[in-house]
Structure 1
Amino acid sequence: MNSSEKKAAEILIVDDQEIILRLLEETLKSEGYAVLMASNGVEALEAVEKKKPDLIITDMLMPKLNGCDMVSKLKESADTRLIPTIMLTGLFDFEHKVRALEIGVDDFLGKPFNRIELITKVRALLKTKSYIDQLEDAETVIFSLALAIEGRDPYTNGHCQRLSEYGAKLAKKIGMDDLMIDAVRKGGVIHDIGKISVPDAILLKPGKLTEAEYEIMKTHPEVGENICKPMKSLTPVLPIIRWHQERWDGSGYPDKLSGTAIPLPARLIAIVDLYDALITVRPYKKAFSLQESIEIMSKETQENKWDPNLMKVFQEMLIANEFEKTLSEINSIKYEHA
């Protein structure tokens, strides 16, 4: 396929009636779409695991796993929740439609289906899917930029990924919903993206920053927010980017928020950021042990720097070894300036 050819959209059709599958296949292929088929929800989930389609058309009532339960499982995963779905059903009662809408079905199509209506709905949802894909591509650029910024400093090797993992586990532990857990996971990676505006002479300085240098460093949360603000899909992450340097007592920046005025996801990332800074080697400090880190965090919490309730949960998780990254793994990393 040359660069001027457009790849055909792939549509998964799911129905336990062979005649419906064949009619759908014939109609969709005549419009140039690639078609995958499954006869029930279990087969559909297996097919999606092997290859994510651009759109799913599924019957509502099927053996083994019905359409609603199948779509519900897809919506639970960040990898598949954005696949658009059309529900095929001969049932038009209010209760079934409400159930389908609640789990995230995008549209409905009656059985027997109307060819023109089918193609119109497919085209509309695929157009929406293309916009979502473009947003995901833009997000990828943002995340790559964040990791490139991290790469400027050899002493923060893997820092963003660790914060993402620590943060997501802590968010899940305290009962945040999936949307907020995802925001925390992303925030762990891109919270410092505003440091692109900070000169290397300041960012990599081994000693204490001057007052003027510190003022420049303090601009990075606002810069980062401005970089990501045009991306509507990153709206839940913006509070983390702007306020991850705020402190419980109001001594942080850029807005000197205090206490619960600091959004919970930002407070959470701030705590795991502190922990990662303590347990890793930096130009100005050694790597502290787990016990030393907990003692320092406890002391600073008593000094009113951190959310005490959140810190308590986090320390309990550390003591229980609930994080995959162990101290020995992190301390085995060799830090060398390029």
Structure 2
Amino acid sequence: MDIFGSSEAAKILVIDDRPLSRVMAVDLLSANGYDVIEHDGISDIFTTIITASPDLILMDLKMPNYNGFDICQELKQNPDTRSIPIILMSVADDNKSRIKSQEVMADAFMSKPLESMILLPEVELLIQRKRLSEWLEQMQKVLFLISQALEKRYLPEGKSGIRFDKLAQGFGEYLNLSPVEISALILASHLHDIGTVAIPDAVMMKQGKLNEEERELIKNHVLIGEEICKPMQNRRGIAQIIRHHHERWDGSGYPDGLIGESIPKLAQIFQILDIYEALTSHRPYKQPYSNQEALNIITEEAEKGWRNVKLVQQFVAFMENKQLT
């Protein structure tokens, strides 16, 4: 069993048209507990990869019908196969081949004959990295399910995730954000309140006014949410948004009382989108505000010093332009 709880042997696909070097690689890996599949480098490689779904590919560069660089590049550009680690190997141990292997996004390059002291640690590292990525992906799906359950519990009518996603996409493009930044905004909309899972229902569902202790308890949800989402290393921007989406431009927000541009940019953008979505949505305790009423409220908050005035003006301009088109 590995560190991620998997009791199955990792599956490695060895692709090499030279029988002797292929058998040597297969024997070396099999002797160390791996489930090894052989491919002669002549028949259809891509069908074998899709069918076998290996945890790692060890592939020769030069084969009769294929070029290892081309195959690697194609696999890394395919969303269905790009997460599979690929080690390219060649008899020619030259700098040009190593540079080319990096260009096609190979995970490692090794010269033949393979040496166990070099190959085995690299194989173990790449497989564990792949399983870590898969584990984080599964954890992300679990977090989404928890978040959805919380929304249904505390907001029975839910919120329009599709509408928020489109709004974040549009405003993000309006601000010339990168695809990664826009993705962080969209994912944060589903996870920003996940920290409320640790807040007692007696507080979260209280009908009357909260006392000071209860208010402080609810404020902790941003810190709890940040800790929950920290392991999502490939989504680091989300944890920052979760922690800081209740900060205010004048420093009167929480949890850190950040002022002005010290508030992460994505958190500033997210809070405007989140406030607009909340104001224009129906809730058990209120009717939705019109688009213009919501924009007026957000503008008033900027004038009070709570929001970035320039960013709010950009959002208002974006929404007005959106309504015109």
After TM superposition, the score normalised by the length of structure 1 is 0.69
Question: Where in structure 2 are there 5+ consecutive unaligned residues?
Answer: 1-5
CA distance in 2, matches of 1:199, 1:39: 60
CA distance in 2, matches of 1:38, 1:186: 43
Aligned residue for 2:153, secondary structure, equals: coil
Correspondence for 2:275:
274
CA distance in 1, matches of 2:235, 2:313: 29
Q: Deviations over 1:93-138 (max 9, x none)?
A: 435534543664321133x553846566434422332333333344
CA distance in 1, matches of 2:23, 2:321: 53
Correspondence for 2:189:
188
| Cα 1:257–1:121 shift into 2, 3 Å | closer
How many residues align? The count is 311
Correspondence for 2:114:
114
Correspondence for 2:251:
250
CA distance in 2, matches of 1:257, 1:219: 16
Question: Where in structure 1 are there 5+ consecutive unaligned residues?
Answer: 323-338
Aligned residue for 2:57, secondary structure, equals: strand
AA of the residue aligned to 1:194: G
Matched, 1:70 2:65: no
Correspondence for 2:284:
283
After TM superposition, the score normalised by the length of structure 2 is 0.71
Q: Deviations over 1:151-179 (max 9, x none)?
A: 22134624667656644554455344455
Correspondence for 1:125:
126
| Cα 1:65–1:95 shift into 2, 3 Å | closer
After the TM superposition, list the runs of 4 or more consecutive aligned residues in structure 1 that deviate by more than 6 angstroms: 36-40, 46-51
CA distance in 1, matches of 2:171, 2:100: 31
Q: Deviations over 1:59-109 (max 9, x none)?
A: 5675698246435525xx5x7654322123455443553454366432113
CA distance in 2, matches of 1:308, 1:68: 48
Aligned residue for 1:87, secondary structure, equals: strand
Identity rate, percent: 30
Indicate which of 28, 33, 36 corresponds to 2:35: 33
Q: What's the CA shift for 1:223? A: 2.5
1:1-338 equivalences under 5 Å are 6-7=7-8, 9-11=10-12, 23=22, 27=26, 31=30, 33=35, 35=37, 44=46, 53-58=54-59, 66-67=70-71, 69-70=73-74, 73-74=77-78, 82-89=83-90, 92-98=93-99, 100-101=101-102, 104-110=105-111, 112-114=112-114, 116=116, 121-155=122-156, 157-158=158-159, 163=164, 166-167=167-168, 170-171=171-172, 174-177=175-178, 179-205=180-206, 209-229=210-230, 235-315=236-316, 317-319=318-320
Q: Which structure has the larger Rg?
A: 2
AA of the residue aligned to 1:107: A
Correspondence for 2:3:
none
| Cα 1:81–1:30 shift into 2, 3 Å | closer
AA of the residue aligned to 1:73: Q
Greater shift in the superposed pair: 27-36 or 82-91 = 27-36
